[in-house]
Structure 1
Amino acid sequence: MQEMIGKHPLVDEFLCFDNVKSLLFELEDLSDTSAFLLDVEMPEINGLELAKELRKRQINLPLIFMTAYPEFALESYEVSAFDYLLKPISQDKVDSLLERLNSLVPQLEPVIFFQLEGLNRVYQKDIILCEAQGHYTRVVLEKHELLVKESISSIKDVRNY
């Protein structure tokens, strides 16, 4: 699977994690992530439980499950699965999936991640103003404000604020 996806022309980068703890630890560095491909059967925690944890953390990116077990398909839609692929997975299915994801990507809203208590996702469209305050940045949103322990120059992808 890694080879089929990683070499596809629509894929800029494909990251593979050996375990759930590594993925959860790296979440804040995955701000450019477009989707998650999860195996239902994984060590430590299954893909469905991981998906629930991602949703709990307000990560609303497309989730694609792959498995040899069709009986988990209905449960995958409880976490708004984008797709559920049964193994063995052909290159045609991978190509079709990536085409559908690619058509979705322009519709995804630009997001900025801030580290406060946990990881906070802020959609750029919701930002009214970013203002430098020493080594902090005040981020004004429609309904509330955030004081982020980052200089304004270190916040990536903040444009026109």
Structure 2
Amino acid sequence: MGKLIRVLVVDDEHYSRDELKHLLGEYPSVEIVGEADSGEDAIVKTLQYQPDVIFLDVEMPKMNGMEVARALMEFKKSPLVVFSTAYPQFAVEAFRYEAIDYILKPYDQEQLQQTIQRIEKLLTPPNDIEVTKPLGKLAVEVDGEIFYIEPKEIIYIYRDEKVSKIITTSQEFEVRTPLKELESRLLPFSFFRIHKSFLVNLTFVTRLTPWFNGAYQLEIEGREEMLSVSRNYIKTLRGRLEI
């Protein structure tokens, strides 16, 4: 999407705010514009920072999250609300206040990723994809350093437990960025998902050969290993390769 998602984090516990800010900070589309430690402070910070989204704790002293959400509904331009709590029993009530999601503590990265994707869809105009310009380089963080990778040098990317491994023509990178997010950022280029855990640059594909049970294998230029293609992706892949 074109502009960053402006996020306000609201929680009366300092540790919980820091944890959520850290997790949200891994998404390039997210900009944390502020934080609040109470319901009253959340109202003030919303007026001050005009966030697109508020991640809102439910259980807070004095003014709880539900009361904050009810107050926000009266705003002329109210932000999207995502409730965050350790108590699942508040879920039904939360959606009465037009919350777009409800995430539980301790935070699950996969659930948080789905929440961010939902927010991106809600905030992206229908024609935004048409005006998106191709990326110059892929920026990734490795051990606190930022590396800028030329997409044309990326051979393939795969997910290994909690990290994504980027294989290029000259070196390998290990990053925490989810594969789905990398796929989205590389959308303007010739990358294709061949498996739920693999994303390959089609410009490096030299041969597609049948394997077994309807699956195929890809032979990659400059690499000894063969990459397996799930049969769920093979029809679309053959179309992309003009086979």
TM range (shorter): 0.5 to 0.7
Give the secondary-structure state (helix, strand or coil) at the position aligned to 1:71: helix
1:43 to partner: Cα distance: 2.3
1:85 to partner: Cα distance: 1.1
Alpha-carbon RMSD: 1.9
Q: Which letter does structure 2 place at the counterpart of 1:23?
A: A
Number of equivalenced pairs = 107
Scaled by the length of structure 2, the TM-score of the pair is 0.41
Aligned to 1:96: 114
More strand by share: 2
Using CA pairs under 8 Å that are at least 6 residues apart, name the structure with larger relative contact order, 1 or 2: 1
Q: Which letter does structure 1 place at the counterpart of 2:48?
A: D
CA distance in 1, matches of 2:91, 2:40: 24
Aligned to 1:29: 48
Q: Which letter does structure 1 place at the counterpart of 2:21?
A: Q
Kindly report which structure 2 residues correspond to 1:125-144, keeping only aligned pairs within 5 A, or say none. Answer: none
Aligned to 1:18: 37
Scaled by the length of structure 1, the TM-score of the pair is 0.59
CA distance in 1, matches of 2:45, 2:36: 10
Q: 1:26 to 1:15 in 2, by over 3 A?
A: closer
- What stretches of structure 1 move > 4 A for 4+ residues in a row? none
Identity among equivalent pairs (%): 30
CA distance in 1, matches of 2:59, 2:25: 21
1:59 to partner: Cα distance: 4.2
Give yes or no for the alignment of 1:41 onto 2:59: yes
Give the secondary-structure state (helix, strand or coil) at the position aligned to 2:63: coil
Give yes or no for the alignment of 1:9 onto 2:19: no
CA distance in 2, matches of 1:107, 1:42: 34
Mind listing any 5+ residue stretches in structure 1 that lack a counterpart?
A: 109-161
